[in-house]
Structure 1
Amino acid sequence: MPGFQTALANAAAGCDAAAARLAQVAQRLGDAAFQTPVDPELLAAERQIADAAAASAQQLRADPGLLHVGRVLLHEGRAVPLVVPFGERGHLATSVDARVEGVANLVRTAILHAVGTREPGGLRVVGIDTATLGASFAPLRPLADAGVIEAVATDARAAADAVALAESQVAEHIAGRRSDRMLLVVASLGEPPRTLVERIDALARSGLAHGVTVLGCGLPDLPQAAVMHALEGRVEITNPPAAPFGRGERLAAPVDWPETPDPSFVAGEALRLAERAKAAATLQFADLIPAQPESGDPARGLEVLIGRDAAGEVRLRFDDATPHWLVGGRTGGGKTVFLLDVLYGLASRYAPSDLALFLLDFKEGVSFTEFIPTERDRSFIPHARAVGVESDREYGLAVLKTLNEEMTRRSTVMKRYGVASFAGLREHEAYPRIVCVADEFQVLLAGNDRVATEAVALLENLARKGRSYGVHLVLASQTISGIEALWAKKDSIFGQFPMRIALPGARTVLEPTNDAASRISLGQVVVNTEGGTAGADRVARFPDTDTHVMHRLREQLGEAHAGVGAPRVFYGYRPVHLAETLPGERKPGRALLGREVSLRLDAAGVDLDRRPGRHLAVLGSDPVGGEALEAAVESLAGNGSRILAVDFTGNADLRNAPERIAPDAFAASLAEIPDGTVIAAWGLDAASLDLKAQQALRALLRTGPARGVHLLGWWRNFRRFTDDIGGSAGREDVACALVLNLPGGEIMGHFGQQFQHWNPRAGRALLVDRHADTGAGRLVVPFSRSDEPGPGQQRSAPMEERTRQ
């Protein structure tokens, strides 16, 4: 085996002639280093060595294949830097671990040297320091924050995970999937299990040729390593390759550990290298957009560039291996930015005919307003099919139902062609891949009600079957713990989510033993394609968004796909108005009341035809009930219906009902209502109908539809409503109801047990139609008054304000 002096000479030759002379003269000294008496020729040689070392020290330190590990002590107080093969040329071990100050200095020196002498992204550093709980690495914290030091294990389990990372590095290098290098730094192991030491030894045997260098402190038997033995007052170097001043394989001259560096130098150098690594690893948002937009083929999957790590660009996929993603991160941890990076990257890479986006945001935020037209910017992403901003749970449920129905349709087509995969389907039909993103999805599954139960069942079906039909889920949340509806289904659903993406503060996306998310900083993300298993992490840095680039891309895509309409958008926080309805939504004899919380967001109303019971009761004290009744009257009046209006509240806007009934004449007029008339009554609970008037009302309810007479009435008191219609005997005489702020426990006796879970909330109503196919009613956003006044009219105050006046 070649001597240490030969390796040093070969390495030094690449630096300069002085360094080469250093190795050549060192070889001459050999065992005569400490002859007594001292030979004058030897002293002259030592002086030449010292001069050569001083001249070439900087060049030697700049070589990634050499490491300065201390000083060789010569005569007359002279010292020569001790340089050993390192990196791709050799491992290094010590007989004591980093609890000795000199070894701790060696650890920091080796890491700074290895990182500083390689191009950014060319080296990964993984540490083990169980005896000092990571103290050896503490001065290098900037490198950990920058992701250069990927992990520092401080307990036995984490140490095993760190070794697994190095083993994975070797396997990936052999497979040709990695070209970077890893430095495994074992600063201390305490009392390691024998199996772990054997794994480290195996890494040392195969690592040099396959991308792993080991610095093993406290591992004097490390294979293929130069070993520094701590003796009393000095250090000896043993093991091949042999030393320049050596007797056999032992360095004859005394050696000192590296001097303790100035802490400010270590901190400054670590910060400098960290900033260099960040700059090299950070993409700009514009870098995520491919040079040839919409050039991707979705048949085998979707691919998107999200950032860089130490090994280069990081690209993620939606395919059979990683069909669904689970994304976690605390508030302010960059989750929204990351999702925008992914979605804009996908939209730029694939055409709208190849990619369809369904976007749901269940929290108070504007995550997905970058995909839809707004008052300030009418551009949009044509790939977006449906977008929910502050989505209702029911809207999310409607989206999941739509996706499940789409899978059923695709299944039918695939059976027709005899194919079993989405790639096979694409050979016959140009179906797009679907990506559904649900931010803060745990809101959808909150509680244990009908919505949560149905949503879990739909999610399970999509998770199990989606990959075959080109349907992919991205579920994002701060946490997935404590979701009651998932207790029985958590494993069956999330077992289909091998792709785990953890941003700072993520607690439950990765496995409990994997704390990688606690070691990253803002702008970084942990990517794990093994279901969150420790040891399978990749830490990447992703860019911040750029509003100008996003706007430009929306405009470019809009011009390229001018025939694609804007997505349907559900704004969970925004009121809706009758004036916003489309002409096709207004039909004769149809009283419009609001907009249905569904994927299509259709206008919701009731048909006033001649079937028995075709009347409408608006129930509840919420003032929006009066406004919804005004919208119903306006929609009917606009289609030629004759309307008689009576207002017991004094607050109704009757501009669309020119024919009026005085409140005190209402009871008497019930028996004289002409055929083909709609009666609109506000505040019928205040009419105080006596028994005779109630009987006249009940007769009208029973016989009116057959002659075209219909009642639209607002009762603010539910008990008064049931009394007026005759209780259970009159239940079928009013087939339609718009239920406002009345809880399910109060109304289920009249409408049925299926309404026991109705939970009223502001801005929502339950539309019940006994003649409709759905027995559970429909959630609607009732129409409210528009703040914009009509022609020649003043702006009207909201109902709640006018009531207080």
Structure 2
Amino acid sequence: MVTGRLRKVLDEAGARHQRAVGRVQAASAALDQVAGGAVIADPAAYEAAAGRMAAAATRIPADARYLRIGEFAYGSRRTPVVVPFLGSAHLVTDVDTRDPRVADLLKGVIPQLFTGADPGSLRVRCVDAAGLGAAFAPFRPLVDAGVLSAPITDQNGFRALLDTAEAHVRSRLQDGAEGPTLVLVIASAPPHSKADAERLDALARSGVAAGVQLIACGFSGLAGAVQVSIREGYAEVGDGPGAAYSADGSGLAARVTLDPAPDIDDLIALASQLAARERDALRIGFADLVPAELWTERADEGLRAIVGRGENGPAVLSFDDATPHWLVGGRTGGGKTVFLLDVLYGLAARYSPEELALYLLDFKEGVSFTEFTPSELDPTWIPHARAVGVESDREYGVAVLRELAGEMTRRSVAMKRAGVTRYAQLRRLKQVPRVVLVVDEFHVLFQGNDKVAREAVALLEDLARKGRSYGIHMVLASQTVSGIEALYTKKDSIFGQFPMRVALPGANSVLDVLNTAAAGLRVGEAIVNTAGGIRDHNGLIRFPNAHDGSGTLDELRHRMWERRAQGSPPPPVFAGYAEQRLADDPTFASLTETTVPRALVGRTVDLTSSTAAVSLDSGPGRHLAILGADPRGADILAAAAQSLARQSPRARFLFAAATSPELVEETILDIAGRGVTVARHRIGDLPALLDELSDEDVTDTYLIGFGLDAATLDRAQTQKLSAILRRGPARRVHVLGWWRTLRRFADDIGGSSGREDVACAVVLNIPGNELTSHFGQSVADWQPRPNRALLIDRHADTRTLILPYSGEDDL
């Protein structure tokens, strides 16, 4: 609510400003009456003309085509001095705002621009090197509203501004683009070269016709400008240095007193009022990005979506042959996630799941894409999503890249068989959607120089080079693209395939090193560049927050979910932070009796989070060792035993435990409750159990050992264990044990000679450099981390990253 006092201030400020800027047609008519603009020698005629001009000015509404800068006096008359501006001329002073009179002039002129122009019709960019932005301090509300830029104070920023203005001129003159007028207000310029001055003069020559206008303090002789020359106690106003201004250039002899600055409180209040008006004009909501009808567009030639508002209207970005892949950068809190959601929902609203498939990866500790998946609070999902990773592992990212590389190959084969050469032609014969892969914090994929990073680089490069030909597009987003070790030698070959660059606040690195256009961006703004980030191809856009509180987003998601194909499943979701429960695994629920049982140990880090299992067939060494002091080892062993009980109901389960008594007891009760034979033993009973299992007549038995490293077997006992490990599987006798130390495990199975006797292992918190002595160099890259384990199968020669099962007490 506006208080009465503030309302009074605003009303007074508005009225004062209306009077200050009142002019235009009547003033021009009055000038015409002054002897055709010639200098008047007759004092009486001069005073009469001045009177008519003053009277006319009071009757003319605010109009930014004319600016009031001061007044001149003749006799008793004080007459406003009005100069042409918007659409006609530039305004230049020969000294900058270090002269207080020029600083005051600028404070009076800037509000006139906005009161005299339609809301949203101007974009004002500011420069103040000498004052470090102080000249524009009262106009902070307009800066916050996004119509007045944060002041540029250095040479690089000044040159980037010239880049922007030149691009604006080209877009108007060459492309016929329309949109707001760009006004450059230079309170004081930084040190600049002759070439910079020439660029500014070129802008002055062509700018008026191309929607670029200058208010330049500290310059003289710019083409097409009204020059204000500062003198001792007065100013001269004219078409060039020292010439008095008149409509036809013949001059009007008058010394001009420049207007003082408005009262600072009034100025700030007026700036706030104008900012509110401009903000309303510029405001774009998420609803503006969404079409009235869902899924009406086809993806034959590409994908397009409105992502915000540009300087010339709605900002439409595309995935097509010209911009097949995008690179998006933005610091933490810079709006990167919001921008990605705008893009994804904009695409999903226009294209059906038959036209568009989404693969979404997030490598940071965030929730960028969780809303695309069902949850306990909201069972809906985006039907376009084919795979979603939250807090993804690099291995999961590589799995997704492998899947898309495979899809690219399948499409290539289909095109060859169909005798077509373009993806658009294939779509006429076969329903194949365009694919968009979005990877947030993609640089995590390439951290280090290990096998995973090398494979990620190779897959990404292949997709970047060939994807466009098969309707596969990528968006790589990050806080930075610097410091990516695995891409140092391949930066040009990969990033050269990403012509679309979107720079959010704090992300100059996605643009060319000479392109500083992203400096000074605010949250909700972005620089869009379709030429690989090089200068002269920048566009400023503003984009809304999808979660703007309007409810549009939730409504849209529900509408799309309700229109999904009957029976379509939700997307597979990889949530790297989530604990995995055996009871939640659909594979566990489907287990039945079988001759080749599998011990379930967790979920694989792959596209569908498939079940990780160890096959216990009759081959020598088909046993399972769980290695590491992490207490989760007990959970994995308990899950393995429970899953085997469902598949081998006629077998015996012999438990020997030195640890986790409660979990062991719960597991025994669960298995016994299924009618399976179970026996519990202390770890000290292990030698006797080995004697029993050495009998060749013993079959169908599982030895389940919790903390087997506590058994301290002697040489004779380890020899018995080795014999069981080698020959036991042939009579369906298998050992599943948890050893908390690798050394004790190696000793128990007979050292190096027993390496092949336990073919399968789940490794927890033992680093790779300690594992190589037993498992070889293939595990050297393994780095233990929470909620992860390495599944090794010597016979299959595989090393698989898994999310191991956790017990309920970890919740």
TM-score, scaled to structure 1: 0.89
CA deviation after TM superposition for structure 1 residue 29, in Å: 7.8
CA deviation after TM superposition for structure 1 residue 21, in Å: 5.6
1:670 aligns with 2:671: no
CA deviation after TM superposition for structure 1 residue 779, in Å: 0.8
Aligned equivalent of 1:586, options 568, 591, 598? 591
CA deviation after TM superposition for structure 1 residue 598, in Å: 0.5
More displaced stretch, 720-729 vs 106-115: 106-115
CA deviation after TM superposition for structure 1 residue 266, in Å: 3.0
CA deviation after TM superposition for structure 1 residue 507, in Å: 5.3
| Aligned position for 1:710 | 734
Provide closer, same or farther for how the CA distance between residues 132 and 514 of structure 1 changes in structure 2, counting only shifts above 3 A. Answer: farther
Q: Give the letter aligned to residue 454 of structure 2.
A: T
**Contact 1:400–1:455 under 8 Å retained in 2:** yes
Q: Give the letter aligned to residue 237 of structure 1.
A: V
- Partner deviation per Cα, 1:50-108 (whole Å, 9 max, x = no partner): 3333x32x52xx122212122122112x2111112211122233333333333333334
Instruction: Name the SS for the 1:149 alignment partner.
Output: coil
Aligned equivalent of 1:645, options 654, 657, 682? 654
| Aligned position for 2:221 | 221
- Partner deviation per Cα, 1:225-247 (whole Å, 9 max, x = no partner): 33223334332233389967699
| Aligned position for 2:577 | 573
**Contact 1:619–1:717 under 8 Å retained in 2:** yes
Aligned equivalent of 1:557, options 553, 556, 560? 560
CA deviation after TM superposition for structure 1 residue 126, in Å: 2.9
Q: Give the letter aligned to residue 654 of structure 1.
A: I
Q: Give the letter aligned to residue 447 of structure 1.
A: G
> Distance in 2 between the 1:558 and 1:29 partners?
71
Instruction: Name the SS for the 1:358 alignment partner.
Output: strand
**Contact 2:166–2:536 under 8 Å retained in 1:** no
| Aligned position for 1:250 | 251
> Distance in 2 between the 1:283 and 1:369 partners?
25
- Partner deviation per Cα, 1:600-643 (whole Å, 9 max, x = no partner): 21111111112222111122222222221221121121123413
1:63 aligns with 2:63: yes
More displaced stretch, 591-600 vs 715-724: 715-724
| Aligned position for 2:305 | 304
Count of residue pairs the alignment pairs up: 765
Q: How does 1:396-415 map to 2 (within 5 A)?
A: 396-415=397-416
| Aligned position for 1:8 | none
| Aligned position for 2:13 | none
- Partner deviation per Cα, 1:185-226 (whole Å, 9 max, x = no partner): 344446643333333333333222222223343433222333
Q: Give the letter aligned to residue 22 of structure 1.
A: A
> Distance in 2 between the 1:247 and 1:363 partners?
65
> Distance in 1 between the 2:139 and 2:537 partners?
23
Instruction: Name the SS for the 2:103 alignment partner.
Output: helix
**Contact 1:361–1:390 under 8 Å retained in 2:** yes
Aligned equivalent of 1:700, options 724, 732, 743? 724
**Contact 2:161–2:517 under 8 Å retained in 1:** no
CA deviation after TM superposition for structure 1 residue 683, in Å: 2.2
> Distance in 2 between the 1:244 and 1:519 partners?
37
Q: How does 1:260-659 map to 2 (within 5 A)?
A: 260-506=261-507, 508-534=509-535, 536-546=537-547, 548-561=551-564, 562-583=566-587, 586=591, 588=594, 589-641=597-649, 642-650=651-659, 651=661, 652=664, 653-655=667-669, 656=671, 658-659=677-678
| Aligned position for 2:56 | 52
Q: Give the letter aligned to residue 627 of structure 1.
A: D
Instruction: Name the SS for the 2:795 alignment partner.
Output: coil
More displaced stretch, 761-770 vs 481-490: 481-490
**Contact 2:23–2:82 under 8 Å retained in 1:** no
Q: Give the letter aligned to residue 369 of structure 2.
A: F
> Distance in 1 between the 2:286 and 2:92 partners?
43
CA deviation after TM superposition for structure 1 residue 151, in Å: 6.5
CA deviation after TM superposition for structure 1 residue 585, in Å: 5.9
- Partner deviation per Cα, 1:358-398 (whole Å, 9 max, x = no partner): 11122222221111111111111111111112212211121
Instruction: Name the SS for the 2:668 alignment partner.
Output: coil
**Contact 1:616–1:712 under 8 Å retained in 2:** yes
**Contact 1:145–1:519 under 8 Å retained in 2:** no
> Distance in 2 between the 1:518 and 1:300 partners?
34
> Distance in 2 between the 1:535 and 1:257 partners?
37
> Distance in 1 between the 2:520 and 2:568 partners?
44
Q: Give the letter aligned to residue 783 of structure 2.
A: N
Instruction: Name the SS for the 2:774 alignment partner.
Output: helix
| Aligned position for 1:746 | 770
> Distance in 2 between the 1:106 and 1:741 partners?
71
More displaced stretch, 214-223 vs 597-606: 214-223
CA deviation after TM superposition for structure 1 residue 290, in Å: 0.9
CA deviation after TM superposition for structure 1 residue 749, in Å: 1.4
CA deviation after TM superposition for structure 1 residue 732, in Å: 1.5
- Partner deviation per Cα, 1:745-783 (whole Å, 9 max, x = no partner): 2221111111011111222111111222xx351011112
More displaced stretch, 292-301 vs 478-487: 478-487
CA RMSD of aligned residues (A): 2.8
| Aligned position for 1:680 | 704
| Aligned position for 1:790 | none
Provide closer, same or farther for how the CA distance between residues 450 and 776 of structure 1 changes in structure 2, counting only shifts above 3 A. Answer: farther
| Aligned position for 1:119 | 118
Provide closer, same or farther for how the CA distance between residues 544 and 156 of structure 1 changes in structure 2, counting only shifts above 3 A. Answer: closer
- Partner deviation per Cα, 1:297-353 (whole Å, 9 max, x = no partner): 222222122222443222222222222222222333322222222211111111111
CA deviation after TM superposition for structure 1 residue 594, in Å: 0.9
| Aligned position for 1:779 | 801
Provide closer, same or farther for how the CA distance between residues 496 and 267 of structure 1 changes in structure 2, counting only shifts above 3 A. Answer: farther
> Distance in 1 between the 2:54 and 2:144 partners?
39
1:160 aligns with 2:149: no
Provide closer, same or farther for how the CA distance between residues 731 and 44 of structure 1 changes in structure 2, counting only shifts above 3 A. Answer: closer
| Aligned position for 1:660 | 679
> Distance in 1 between the 2:205 and 2:284 partners?
37
**Contact 1:379–1:551 under 8 Å retained in 2:** no
Provide closer, same or farther for how the CA distance between residues 27 and 101 of structure 1 changes in structure 2, counting only shifts above 3 A. Answer: farther
Instruction: Name the SS for the 1:124 alignment partner.
Output: strand
Q: Give the letter aligned to residue 155 of structure 1.
A: D
**Contact 1:498–1:531 under 8 Å retained in 2:** yes
CA deviation after TM superposition for structure 1 residue 646, in Å: 1.9
Instruction: Name the SS for the 1:444 alignment partner.
Output: helix
> Distance in 2 between the 1:244 and 1:234 partners?
14
CA deviation after TM superposition for structure 1 residue 113, in Å: 2.1
| Aligned position for 1:803 | none
Q: Give the letter aligned to residue 339 of structure 1.
A: L
> Distance in 1 between the 2:248 and 2:726 partners?
115
> Distance in 2 between the 1:798 and 1:302 partners?
45
> Distance in 1 between the 2:24 and 2:197 partners?
39
**Contact 1:127–1:162 under 8 Å retained in 2:** no
**Contact 2:24–2:66 under 8 Å retained in 1:** no
> Distance in 1 between the 2:578 and 2:125 partners?
51
> Distance in 2 between the 1:169 and 1:181 partners?
9
- Partner deviation per Cα, 1:157-177 (whole Å, 9 max, x = no partner): 433322222221121112122
CA deviation after TM superposition for structure 1 residue 140, in Å: 2.7
Mark the runs of 5 or more structure 2 residues left unpaired by the alignment: 1-21
| Aligned position for 1:185 | 185
> Distance in 1 between the 2:754 and 2:37 partners?
115
Q: How does 1:102-181 map to 2 (within 5 A)?
A: 102-150=101-149, 152-174=151-173, 175-181=175-181
Provide closer, same or farther for how the CA distance between residues 42 and 203 of structure 1 changes in structure 2, counting only shifts above 3 A. Answer: closer
Instruction: Name the SS for the 1:489 alignment partner.
Output: helix
> Distance in 1 between the 2:805 and 2:784 partners?
16
